[in-house]
Amino acid sequence: MNARPSGMQEDTKEALDLEPIRATTRALCAKFPGEYWRRLDRERAYPTEFVNAMAEAGLLAALIPEEYGGSGLPLAAAAAILEEVHASGGNGGACHAQMYTMGTLLRHGSEAQKRRYLPKIASGELRLQAFGVTEPGAGTDTLSITTTAERRGDTYVVRGQKVWTSRAEHSDLMILLARTAPKGSLPSRTDGLSVFLVDMKAAPPERLRIRPIRTMINHATTEVFFDELEIPADSLIGEEHKGFRYILDGMNAERILIAAECVGDARWFIEKATHYANERKVFGRPIGQNQGVQFPIARAYVELHAARLAVAHAVALYDAGRPCGAEANMAKLLASEASWHAADTCLQTHGGFGFAEEYDVERKFRETRLYQVAPISTNLILSHVAEKVLGLPRSF
């Protein structure tokens, strides 16, 4: 491909400060070209080689403090890493999971838990990429989950089911949210849920069953069934019954990182479309000479620029320790829509060739569509903004 359009990489102090880590990520991603990702997509395979390379380069440990074997970098660095992965044509799903899922352990785990697990997560020896929250009957209504963890002496016994638990087959550990008190039995409506760190490799297969769910994208998502699974009492993270707030605590980071991936996707689509529009000739001239081709690409670029600013603002608030729930949500909405509009424009620019596997457009087109649905849908973000930011009546 030709050079990125002028201004695609912002020449700001933030970008300059992060350029070394961006350059390192780009160099690593160059070793995993489109054919690598196409093969994985065809085979529905996990990107083992890519994840191992990211771990060996220390990129997956960016957010883990140095005392636990990581780099101790701010969220801005993790966002830059994931943006570059997606801008290179790859997919950072397995990487962002390790980055933000471990945050629950880092922020709320005991010192013993952190010293036991974080160094091995930082080195890549252990994978913590499974996040067991969503259930078939609850969806995003997290307070209605029914998976239970019953205390029995020195153990908890887990019963229930999780769904859309991505990478459970490829993870050593899972962050699990389960009910430890009946709904409504405690003074606060948000109490009664607890967070556990589950060693999935130690679980008997008849007690913890994983069923893959085949989807339109290679996301390694699954259903997980818990049948009287006993886990040690010291698997509990933080205080019993307070798990809901621990999970909420990590959602801002998750949404910001997903937004950064969407920015990377939008960059990739716009660069791909721009290159093709310059090179492809019909009736003796480049198709990019036609305003009907130019304008959608230009609009996609404008939307990308706005999304990048929103993501940068949310990152800055997060790294400063300031409230950023609304900003994280809005950045995720803007970035996911920018990436989807860029994807649609790129496919339209390529015409029939956009549907050909070898161009990678159709694969990325499918992948980026996910982010208007997960990890939170666009409508739920709009509802949050309406009620929490604008003060409109709560909808039912």
Q: What is the spatial distance between Cα 97 and Cα 127, in angstroms, rounded to a whole number?
A: 9
Cβ-based neighbours of 181, under 8 Å, separated by 6 or more: 191, 192, 241
Surface-to-core class of residue 251, CB atoms within 10 Å of its CB (0-12 exposed, 13-18 middle, 19+ buried): middle
Residues in the chain: 396
d(CA 114, CA 116): 5
Question: Is 357 among the residues known to form the active site?
Answer: no
Q: Which has the closest alpha carbon to 375: 198, 134, 127?
A: 134
Task: Please tell me which residue in 254, 261, 271, 327 is annotated as part of the active site.
Answer: 254
Q: Are 64 and 71 in contact (CB under 8 A)?
A: yes
CB 161 within 8 A of CB 135: yes
User: 107-134 burial string, b = 16+ CB within 10 Å, else e?
Assistant: ebbeeebbeebbbbbbbbebbbbbbbbb
Residues classed as catalytic:
254
